[in-house]
């Protein structure tokens, strides 16, 4: 801005709207902005309406796209009577059990690996290339190898999910560890903390927000490999349910299963965010 424009400014400037008269500040709009939540809700309603309408008008065969009402009815039926020898709740419990077992394994392995990457150059040298190798491989690609090595039992299913979860957990932990403020560590050392005490009492808690973010991402990644993990020799689980339904062309169960998987993913995300706020209230407030 030139000096002239400064001298031309009105001398009063006590009025609220004149208080900030820099050229890039626009006056506040009187019209209230629509919140993005409202837009989201409308979007979902529009999609549902389009779905219901196309089913009602029989634009596509119910084999390809069952009506929302049919899916809802099926939902109730599967809750009460089950599908392929298990109720919906039993399928959900089987799937959740696998995903949480895998999450536990990913934490037990991933957090120490992430610590090693973040703390020592040797650890970084060892684990970084391994994780970078593992990370981009789709679960369906390593599934055959897991089955050849570990058979078709429950451990294989958990392992497939755990592999997908390992990289997010380890890499988030590592980035959290690397982000710990030097001053915080040095202050603890100057108080007489040993190396182990610094890791336990300074580095781990400091990295906790980042670790929790990693768990959230891992849970999403693991949940999305569910169908792949339950491809082989499962008798229960949401992924298994969808595949069985697909083989018999029971499309309403397929659609219902997809919606259940999506809903559970949403709920898990919500729960973890609540846990984050409870456990690390200082994140973003330092």
Partner 1 sequence: MPHLVLDPHLILDKVSVHYDGQAAPAVERVSIDVAKGDFVVLVGRSGCGKTSLLNVAAGLVEPVRGNARIGGTPITDPGPDRAVVFQNDALFPWLTARENVAFALRLRGVPQAERARRADELLALVKLGGAGDKRIWELSGGMRQRGGLARALAAEPEFLLLDEPLGALDALTRERMQTTLLDLWTAAQVGVLMVTHGIEEALVLATRIVVLAPGPGRVVRTFETGFSRRYASGEPIRGIKADPAFAAARGELTDAIFEGEAA
| 191 interacts with partner 1 by CB under 8 A | yes
- Of 38-46, 102-110, 134-142, 192-200: span binding partner 1 (CB under 8 A): 192-200
What string marks each residue from 115 to 144 as x (binds partner 1 by CB under 8 A) or -?
------------------------------
Among 70, 93, 188, 259, binds partner 1 (CB under 8 A): 188
59 or 279: CB nearest partner 1: 279
Binder to partner 1 among 58, 186, 235, 263 (CB under 8 A)? 186
CB of 98 to partner 1, least distance (A): 32
Query: Is 281 an interacting residue with respect to partner 1 (CB under 8 A)?
Result: yes
* 8 Å CB contact between 228 and 239: yes
Cβ atoms of 253 and 272 closer than 8 Å: no
The correct pick among 10, 23, 27, 192 for binding partner 1 (CB under 8 A) is 192
For position 181 contacting partner 1 by CB under 8 A, the verdict is yes
Binder to partner 1 among 131, 202, 219, 234 (CB under 8 A)?
Answer: 202
Q: Which of 225, 263, 260 is nearest to 106 (CA)?
A: 225
List 193, 259, 264, 265, residue binding partner 1 (CB under 8 A)? 193
We find the least distance from the C-beta atom of residue 190 to partner 1, in angstroms, to be 4
Work out whether 179 is an interface residue with partner 1 (CB under 8 A): no
Only one of the segments 72-80, 150-158, 186-194, 222-230 lies at the binding site for partner 1 (rule: CB under 8 A); that segment is: 186-194
Query: Where do we find the tokens 């294989």?
Result: 156
CA dist 284 → 114, 115, 187, 215 (Å): 22, 22, 21, 18
DSSP characters over 81-119: T-BTTB-HHHHHHHHHHHHHHHHHHHHHHHHHHHHHHHH
The torsion angles phi and psi of 194, rounded to 5 degrees, stand at: -80, 175
Show the 3-state SS of 223-261.
Answer: HHCHHHHCCCCCCCCHHHHHHHHHHCCCHHHHHHHHHHH
CB 238 within 8 A of CB 92: yes
To the nearest whole angstrom, how small is the minimum distance from the Cβ of residue 49 to partner 1? 46
What b/e string do you get for 168-201 counting C-beta neighbours within 10 Å, with b at 16 or more? bbbbbbbbbbeebeeeebeebeeeebeeeebbee
Distance of closest approach, residue 187 Cβ to partner 1, in angstroms: 3
Q: Which of 154, 155, 184, 199 binds partner 1 (CB under 8 A)?
A: 184
Cβ closer to partner 1: 40 or 181?
181
Maximum distance among all Cα pairs of the chain, rounded to whole angstroms: 82
- For the bound state, the minimum distance from the C-beta of residue 36 to partner 1, rounded and expressed in Å, comes to 28
Token pair of 39 as six digits: 């837009």
Out of 96, 197, 220, 276, the only residue in the binding site for partner 1 (CB under 8 A) is 197
Interface residues with partner 1 (CB under 8 A) are 181, 183-184, 186-193, 197, 201-202, 205-206, 208, 280-282, 285-286
């Amino acid at each position: 801005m030139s000096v002239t424009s400064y001298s031309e400014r009105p001398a009063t400037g006590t009025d609220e709207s004149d208080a900030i008269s820099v050229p890039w500040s626009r006056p506040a709009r009187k019209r209230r902005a629509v919140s993005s939540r409202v837009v989201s809700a409308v979007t979902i309603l529009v999609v549902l309406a389009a779905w219901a309408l196309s089913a009602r008008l029989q634009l596509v065969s119910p084999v390809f796209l069952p009506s929302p009402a049919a899916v809802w009815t099926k939902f109730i039926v599967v809750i009460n009577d089950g599908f392929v020898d298990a109720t919906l709740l039993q399928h959900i419990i089987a799937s959740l059990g696998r995903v949480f077992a895998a999450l536990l394994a990913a934490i037990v392995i991933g957090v120490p690996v992430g610590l090693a990457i973040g703390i020592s150059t040797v650890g970084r040298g060892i684990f970084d290339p391994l994780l970078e190798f593992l990370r981009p491989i789709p679960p369906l690609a390593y599934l055959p190898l897991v089955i050849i090595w570990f058979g078709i039992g429950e451990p294989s299913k958990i392992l497939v999910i755990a592999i997908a979860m390992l990289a997010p957990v380890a890499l988030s932990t590592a980035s959290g560890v690397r982000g710990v403020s030097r001053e915080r560590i040095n202050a603890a050392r100057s108080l007489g903390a040993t190396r182990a005490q610094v890791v336990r009492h300074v580095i781990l808690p400091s990295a906790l927000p980042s670790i929790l973010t990693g768990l959230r991402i891992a849970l999403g990644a693991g949940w999305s490999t569910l169908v792949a993990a339950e491809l082989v020799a499962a008798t229960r689980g949401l992924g298994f349910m969808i595949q069985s339904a697909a083989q018999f062309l029971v499309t309403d169960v397929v659609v219902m299963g997809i919606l259940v998987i999506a809903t559970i993913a949403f709920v898990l995300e919500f729960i973890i965010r609540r846990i984050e706020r409870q456990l690390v209230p200082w994140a973003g407030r330092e």
